[in-house]
Structure 1
């Protein structure tokens, strides 16, 4: 292909993408409330047991407030609302419910993902609620109170004959598109090895430059399955209505891997947050928050403080 042809193709693709992006934004607002006022937010009652578990000498960043860092990486977990400044999503909703449980006002601080560890250690905020997975390496510096499962999703075209992927044999011989050097790729390579040892076909992994290219490959029939973080694909499926979930995969396969509220190591706040989460689970507020953002698949039966995390690589 000549340089002129490449440029022409790129221009054509860009022009085609503009109406698709505009439609996607409109459709997203029909499915998820991305308004700054968030009238459907789930609120919680003050939890006396959780409040009592806060160490007497613990000093919140701002008196009377629960200051929480969140990275607005994209819906449905956390994104900027239609006013381009208010952060909304499942993680902000959960942070609000925890603040309610502690009898505090929520102070949400948007941060870049790379900046949260230093900001937390230096006391800029009391906690991070931003899809942080529990790992053994992170546990050396931070405490954790789990609140969601870390899941990857198996999604296919809406009219695909594939109905379920739960274990390695279900994926034998399939063309699966996945991000290079990701945890999903690592797991699927192990699945493929297991299939070959069992006399089944290997998994054909496909790599593309970005998420949009992977979605297009799936829609065009060049790939059978796409595997990405579950929440990302839930949003795309609800927005575009042309892909469907056929299974989930734990980020810690074969063990469960959880997402957690992250606090400073030894601050003593983690146990109170775990108590608050378990109360939200018992009274149903937790389930309603996840359902509001179509993340019920990621629900935990209970919250734990500092459970086993992903091992050091």
Structure 2
């Protein structure tokens, strides 16, 4: 099923493609102190016929939805030890949405910065890769809210610089982030300006092409902290055997997280109903427990 966008819209997607979440990689063989669920440990979900009745005829006939995600962002999406099977909260959630609709799911690994353009080109039916919902994205794709999330600060063990997510505490410190992320494009520049306005030494953003590079800079002491999604920091730090940890403080700028669909997709109503049903029947609570997702990530208005 294809829902193509105009050339202008595709160009806009390229401009915002990286700006919503961190695209984090970790060593797939490293599990640290985290008990990574087995790929076969699936949650069975019953079909919600009322939601399934909202499916477009072509999808109902095909019986499968193709969902894109970047399998390098634990605990949301990553490769199992076989290096082929995509696992994680988003992988399970996408599978559960399909089951609610009486469908099968095909999970497709794709580079984070290519997913939304691929969605626009009709290569996928949905995209679920921890996309923050931003006004820029909403101009070119539609979303169904299923989680929320915000940024945190990763620090070396013991937090030697005594950092927290209070922007004023970060003034004068070197803070790493991955290029193209919300943290790099919006949040760190905003914090830098807050420091300047308060008469303090500005925060010094250090931007890296990948999350692995940012983590290496933190672990080697080249930067004092690293800004990324708070839940991902906690999980990835545990995967890395405690080489870094989440600094104290509230998450920064919590935003809704959404499943992306092509603009005006006839599939949206069915997906929204499925998401609501997954919250109502307790499946979401089961999945968040399975993947150590905190309650702060639960969406206040799922399916919206």
Superposition TM-score tier, normalisation by shorter sequence: 0.7 to 0.9
* Larger deviation, residues 25-34 vs 282-291: 25-34
Contact 2:29 2:81 in 1 (8 A): no
Task: State the match for 1:233 in structure 2.
Answer: 233
- Aligned pair 1:33/2:42, yes or no? no
Distance (whole Å) between structure 1 residues aligned to residue 69 and residue 85 of structure 2? 12
1:188-230, Cα deviation, whole Å (9 max, x unpaired): 2222322332344432334556544433443344433211244
> How much does 1:95 deviate?
0.5
- Aligned pair 1:214/2:214, yes or no? yes
Task: State the match for 1:204 in structure 2.
Answer: 204
What SS does the aligned partner of 1:237 have? helix
Task: State the match for 1:7 in structure 2.
Answer: none
> How much does 1:274 deviate?
1.9
- Aligned pair 1:281/2:282, yes or no? no
Task: State the match for 1:110 in structure 2.
Answer: 109
1:91-141, Cα deviation, whole Å (9 max, x unpaired): 111111111211222232333445544543454432222233333343344
What SS does the aligned partner of 2:59 have? coil
Task: State the match for 1:189 in structure 2.
Answer: 189
Contiguous gaps of at least 5 residues in structure 1: 1-22, 306-313
Task: State the match for 1:120 in structure 2.
Answer: 119
**Cα pair distance change 1:285/1:29, threshold 3 Å:** farther
Distance (whole Å) between structure 1 residues aligned to residue 45 and residue 209 of structure 2? 42
Distance (whole Å) between structure 1 residues aligned to residue 222 and residue 145 of structure 2? 38
Distance (whole Å) between structure 1 residues aligned to residue 119 and residue 181 of structure 2? 26
Contact 1:144 1:260 in 2 (8 A): yes
Distance (whole Å) between structure 1 residues aligned to residue 181 and residue 83 of structure 2? 30
Task: State the match for 1:43 in structure 2.
Answer: 44
> How much does 1:304 deviate?
4.3
> How much does 1:40 deviate?
2.5
What SS does the aligned partner of 1:178 have? strand
TM-score (norm 2): 0.75
1:40-96, Cα deviation, whole Å (9 max, x unpaired): 2233222233224x15x5421862223322332343222232222222222111111
The alignment covers a number of residue pairs equal to: 275
**Which residue among 254, 257, 260 is the counterpart of 1:259?**
257
**Cα pair distance change 1:58/1:153, threshold 3 Å:** farther
Q: Which has the larger radius of gyration?
A: 1
Distance (whole Å) between structure 1 residues aligned to residue 61 and residue 257 of structure 2? 25
**Cα pair distance change 1:192/1:101, threshold 3 Å:** same
Contact 2:32 2:238 in 1 (8 A): no
What SS does the aligned partner of 1:260 have? strand
**Cα pair distance change 1:283/1:208, threshold 3 Å:** same
Distance (whole Å) between structure 2 residues aligned to residue 61 and residue 49 of structure 1? 13
- Aligned pair 1:294/2:295, yes or no? no
Contact 1:93 1:289 in 2 (8 A): yes
Please report the RMSD computed on the Cα atoms of aligned residues, expressed in angstroms.
3.2
What SS does the aligned partner of 1:257 have? strand
> How much does 1:249 deviate?
4.6
Contact 1:68 1:108 in 2 (8 A): yes
